Structure 1
Amino acid sequence: MKITEVETLYTEEFSNVIWVRVHTDAGVTGLGETFFGPGSVTAHVHEVLAHKLLGRDPLAIEAINREMVYAALGFSSSGAEMRAASAVDIALWDLFGKVCNLPVHQMLGGLSHQRLRIYNTCANPRYAQARNFRPVDNWASGQGDARYADLDGFMHRAGELAEDLLASGITAMKIWPFDPPAMENDGRYITTDQLKLALEPFEKIRKAVGDRIEIMVELHSLWNLPTAKQIARALEPFQPTWFEDPIRMNSPQALAEFARSTPISVCASEVLATRFPYKDLLDRDATHVVMVDIGWCGGLTEARKIAALADTYHRPFAAHDCVGPVAFAAGVHASFSQPNTLIQESVRAYYNGWYKDLVTATPRIEGGYVYPMEGPGLGTELRPEVFDRGDLVRKVSRV
């Protein structure tokens, strides 16, 4: 079996979500996905990676991954080259599972769990649709299904949102109310009034539901170290589960200083790629929960190595998801295959909304738990309607 075509696709409506399809002369096709920067990602796929893939055995996943990862000039970052390599790698695992008629989690070693607890990342339905998707105040509650306008919810009705999540069985939530002052002040400082305003969602949540729900704090690497420590001290009375990416992920020493300053766990980081920067963090006790994005870190091949590395340091693994439906499925497969998986990120505004417009199946989520995907490979495909969309951008490299 040989690779005969490498195809990229994205839609103008959801342009941050980029798919890669790897075709073979046996008629088996693998589907992968990454997120953000469609022009640069697709250029790297066709100008660089296609030459490494066409004519190759698609089941030589480890060898191909190594070549692709070392072709990424940013190597330890999740730049366009690494995102492209990640999407291809996911597609190769999907293809491998289809050839063997087994789900990807089985190909990765089998189920380590029968179900996994989820937390809800409180995004609005269209949070990741535009190219500039970080600012909290850019996303009106009217975008998409108002029932899942969870970003607007945590900013204005946090207590009600926590009660609603608990009613559906979800016992953990992630919020980021510190983003607006970070963007206003370039992350250099936070005023007393800004700090009080950002603390209000935590006060409302604890007043409404007490400690029945966990709160993960996303800081998006927007703060300098002194201000991040200041924010952490202010949040400690609310007992959050973790502080995620409090500073930029380019200094293990600085992150270790932050970790030593607070009794709350540090989670890092969706923006890192390959296992090597994670080792630097783990060697310095700079992170307690190891998070990866499957579509950014080097794919499933690298993600399982990162999870195993975390396990050697007795650290839990957590797969990131605030991206697209195929990467979410890949993340769920990875999570079920790893014994040290702590919890699975999910976005109910997505899996109850636009994910269903793009793929044939999404992971089953019930009562606050996610269950293993069924079927060969990833267990999902692009819906036929995607290929008929007028805003579809498609490119193919062939032998």
Structure 2
Amino acid sequence: MRITSIETIRVAEFANLVWVRLTTDEGLTGIGETYFGPDATEAHIHGVVAPYLLGKDPRDINTHTDYMLGYLGRTGSSAEQRGRSATDIALWDLLGKSLGVPLYQLFGGKVRDRLPIYNTCANMNYNTKPAASHSTFDYGTGQGPARFDDTDAFLKRPVELAGSLLDMGITGMKIWPFDFLGSDVVDGNISTAGLRKGVAAFREIRKAYGDKIDLMCEMHAFWNLPSARRIIEALAEFEPSWVEDPVPLDQMSSLAALQASTPVLIGTGETLGGIGAYKSLIDAKGCGLVIYDVSWSGGIGNARKVAAMAEAAHLPVALHDCTGPVVLAASTHLALATRNCFTQEIARAYYFTWYRDLVTDLPPVENGTITVSGKPGLGLELSPDLFKREDVKVKCSILE
């Protein structure tokens, strides 16, 4: 079996997404996906990955993984890492299809049949447009169907939002009210008034529902160390399951100092890339929950290594969603086969709207849990209708 073509597929409506489709001389295809910086990622796939991978046997994944990175971009979620990650996912999809088995069986099988989900309270337009930097302007608040404008809801109607999630059987929710109180301030400080305003949603939800719903606070690494500590101390009385990305991930010592100062779990790691960065995070004791994104960290092979390192350190892991439907499928396969993974992130505003338009199948969600279908590989394909869209763009490298 040999790879004969490598395609990248993009649509203007969801401009941050890039899909990779590999085709073999036996007619099998594998799909992958990554997110953010699509121009640079696409350039790496066609400029570095394709010249190496075309003509190769797609089943030799361990041989290919380092060659797909290139010379630069080994650390961080670089364009090189994102391009490698998307292609790696497609290779694993191909491997599963060639053997006629779902992805999780390639990992040694599932350790559970279903996994609880938590909802990242985004809306359907959250982060779908290119942005020079991550800020509140790209959150899409007040756009799209009111039923799934969960960002607007946690800012204005947090108790109502929590109730609607519980009605769906979802018992975990992640919100980020502090973003709107400091994300456009370059010094990363939080005022006393902002602190009180930010915790209000957590107080209201706890008062209404007690411990019926788990709460997480996303902090998007907007804060300096003293402000992050103040926010976490203020949240402690509401017993969040974790606080996420309180400070930038460029100084493991800051994360270590922060985690050592509080019993509240810090969850972080999704924007790291390469196994070395995760080893540094774990060795520094910089968090109580290791979070990673399979489409940024180096792909499925790296994700499995990160989970193993965390397990050896007696740490739980969680996989990032809020990207695209292919990543959700890959993450769910990994999560179901990972002993130290206890939950899977979804954004219901994505899952129940545009995710369904882009692929043929999704991992089934029912009563607040998620699983996979059992179909070979990832268990889904890009929708044929995707290629009929006026805003679709396909670029192809072909074996000559």
Query: Where on the TM-score scale, by shorter chain, does this alignment land: which range?
Result: over 0.9
Residues 1:365 and 1:72: Cα distance change in structure 2 (over 3 Å): farther
Task: Kindly indicate whether the alpha-carbon contact (under 8 Å) linking 2:117 and 2:346 is maintained by their aligned counterparts in 1.
Answer: yes
Equivalences for residues 1-399 of structure 1 within 5 A: 1-69=1-69, 71=70, 73-132=72-131, 134-136=134-136, 138-139=138-139, 142-399=142-399
Is the Cα contact below 8 Å between 1:72 and 1:82 reproduced in 2?
A: no
- Structure 1 CA distance, aligned partners of 2:40 and 2:224? 29
- Amino acid of the residue matched to residue 290 of structure 2? V
Q: 3-state DSSP class of the match of 1:78?
A: coil
Contact 1:98/1:376 (<8 A) preserved: yes
The one-character-per-residue Cα deviations of 1:260-308 (angstroms, maximum 9, x if unpaired) are 1111011111101122111112112111111110111111011011011
Q: Is the 8 A contact 2:125 2:140 kept in 1?
A: no
Instruction: For 2:209, give the aligned amino acid.
Output: V
**Partner letter of residue 352 of structure 1?**
F
For residues 49-106 of structure 1, give each alpha carbon's deviation from its aligned partner in whole angstroms, at most 9, with x where no partner exists. 111101111001011112223x162212001111010000000000001000111111
Deviations along 1:151-203, one digit per CA (max 9) or x if unpaired, are: 11111111111111111111110111111222232253111111111111111
**% identical equivalent positions:** 45
Question: What amino acid maps onto 2:83 in structure 1?
Answer: A
Q: How far apart are the structure 1 equivalents of 2:71 and 2:351? A: 31
Distance in 1 between residues matched to 2:243 and 2:197, nearest whole Å: 18
- Between the two proteins, the alignment pairs up a number of residues equal to 398
Please state whether the residue corresponding to 2:8 is helix, strand or coil: strand
CA distance in 2, matches of 1:162, 1:356: 24
AA of the residue aligned to 1:125: M
- Report how far residue 36 of structure 1 moved: 1.0
Q: Secondary structure at 2:20's aligned position in 1?
A: strand
Q: Distance between the aligned counterparts of 1:253 and 1:128, measured in 2? A: 29
**What's the secondary structure of 2:397's corresponding residue?**
strand
If the length of structure 2 is used for normalisation, what is the TM-score?
A: 0.97
Q: Distance in 2 between matches of 1:176 and 1:72?
A: 37
2:184 and 2:141 map into 1 onto residues whose CA distance is 22
Q: The residue matched to 2:183 in structure 1 has which SS?
A: helix
Does the 8 A contact of 1:333 with 1:373 survive in 2? no
| 1:207 partner amino acid | K
Distance 1:241 1:134 in 2: 24
Using the alignment, how far apart are the partners of 1:350 and 1:20 within structure 2?
20
8 A contact 1:163–1:208 mirrored in 2: no
Quote the offset at 1:139 in angstroms: 4.4
Check whether the contact 1:240–1:264 (CA below 8 A) recurs between aligned residues.
Answer: yes
SS in 2 for 1:211: helix
CA contact (8 A) 2:23 2:30 kept: yes
SS of match in other structure, 2:22: strand
Partner Cα distance (1:130, 1:109) in 2: 38
Q: TM-score, normalised by structure 1?
A: 0.97
CA distance in 2, matches of 1:184, 1:41: 27
Counterpart amino acid of 1:102? V
Structure 2 residue runs of 5 or longer lacking an equivalent are none
1:30 counterpart SS class: strand
Contact 1:140 1:152 (C-alpha < 8 Å) held by counterparts: no
Is 1:21–1:29's contact at 8 Å kept on the other side of the alignment? Answer: yes
After superposition, what is the alpha-carbon deviation per residue over 1:204-223, rounded to whole angstroms, capped at 9, x for unaligned? 11122112111111111111
SS, match of residue 120 in structure 1: strand
Compared with structure 1, are the counterparts of its residues 395 and 152 closer, same or farther at alpha carbon in structure 2 (3 Å cutoff)? same
**Residue type at the aligned position of 2:234:** A
User: Would you say the 8 A contact 2:135–2:184 is kept in 1?
Assistant: no
Q: Which segments of 5 or more consecutive residues in structure 1 lack a partner in the other structure? A: none
Distance 1:273 1:253 in 2: 18
- How far has the Cα of 1:369 moved from its partner? 0.6
- Deviation of 1:135 after TM superposition, in Å, equals 3.6
Contact 2:9/2:395, CA 8 A, preserved across alignment? yes
Name which of structure 1's ranges 51-60 and 199-208 shifts more when overlaid on structure 2.
199-208
2:97 corresponds to which letter in structure 1? K
Paired residues of 2:101 and 2:375 also in contact (CA < 8 A)? yes
Runs of 4+ in 1 over 6 A off after TM superposition: none
Distance 2:71 2:136 in 1: 31
Q: Aligned partners of 1:184, 1:34: CA distance in 2, in Å?
A: 27
Against the structure 1 CA distance between its residues 221 and 336, is the aligned structure 2 distance closer, same or farther, given a 3 Å change threshold?
Answer: same
